[in-house]
């Protein structure tokens, strides 16, 4: 048994650090969310809504985000038509937690790890805001494509981007990079 533990030690250390970090960050995020009543919008989702509105407003003035006091989501109107609701699950934090957990599990030098976590998290946040903005416009024009756009295409883009960041990290900056 000891022989197998030694043989698979790098893999087991990776699993322990990945899941340990993932669970810790998820618990911290849940603690943050618990600070809001169940019928209130959390501040991160609110900021994502505001940033999405800014992106769309750069191209057109026909977007409006409605924040109702006792609703845990942002209502989005594009060209005076209700398009979507931005909920807590849309804010990208769970994707960022997954990203950070992987980077820590394959950590490199402290400086590189912290810079890559910060830069990658910022990139994921920006991509997520752009994803929501583009999704709003596309759903206005193609509402029948909701499942394809929201359920397939855009998750593939955001998770594909995270995967590419992981590949870059492992090959260029982690302690396993050659």
Contact between 77 and 139 under an 8 Å Cβ cutoff? The reply is no
pLDDT in tens, 67-126: 888 888 899 999 888 889 999 989 999 999 999 999 999 888 899 999 999 999 999 999
Calculate the CA 25 to chain-centre distance. 13
Asked, for residue 178, whether it belongs to a domain, the answer is no
Please give the structure tokens belonging to residue 46.
Answer: 């609110």
Q: How far is CA 65 from the centre of its chain?
A: 20
Asked whether residue 7 is assigned to any structural domain, the reply reads yes
Range of the domain at 161: 2-173
Sheet with 81-87: list strands edge to edge.
Answer: 63-67, 73-78, 81-87
CA distance between the termini of the chain? 31
Domain-embedded: residue 40: yes
Residue 1 has pLDDT above 90, yes or no: no
* Per-residue pLDDT reduced to its tens digit, 23-78: 999 999 999 999 888 778 889 999 999 999 999 999 887 898 888 888 888 999 99
Which among 59, 75, 67 has a CA at the least distance from the CA of 134?
59
The number of domains in the chain is: 1
- Give the gyration radius of the chain's Cα atoms: 19
């Amino acid at each position: 048994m000891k022989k197998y533990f030694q043989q698979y030690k790098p893999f087991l250390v990776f699993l322990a650090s990945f899941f340990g970090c993932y669970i810790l960050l998820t618990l911290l995020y849940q603690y943050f969310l618990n600070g809001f009543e169940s019928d209130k919008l959390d501040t991160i989702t609110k900021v994502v809504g505001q940033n999405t509105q800014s992106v769309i407003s750069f191209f057109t003035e026909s977007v409006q985000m409605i924040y109702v006091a006792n609703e845990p989501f942002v209502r989005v109107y594009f060209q005076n038509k209700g398009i979507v609701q931005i909920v807590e699950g849309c804010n990208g934090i769970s994707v960022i937690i997954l990203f950070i957990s992987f980077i820590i599990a394959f950590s490199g030098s402290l400086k590189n790890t912290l810079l890559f976590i910060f830069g990658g998290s910022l990139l994921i946040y920006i991509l997520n805001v752009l994803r929501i903005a583009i999704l709003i416009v596309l759903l206005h024009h193609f509402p029948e494509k909701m499942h394809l756009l929201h359920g397939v295409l855009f998750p593939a883009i955001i998770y594909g981007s995270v995967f590419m960041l992981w590949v870059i990290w492992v090959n260029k900056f982690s302690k396993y990079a050659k």
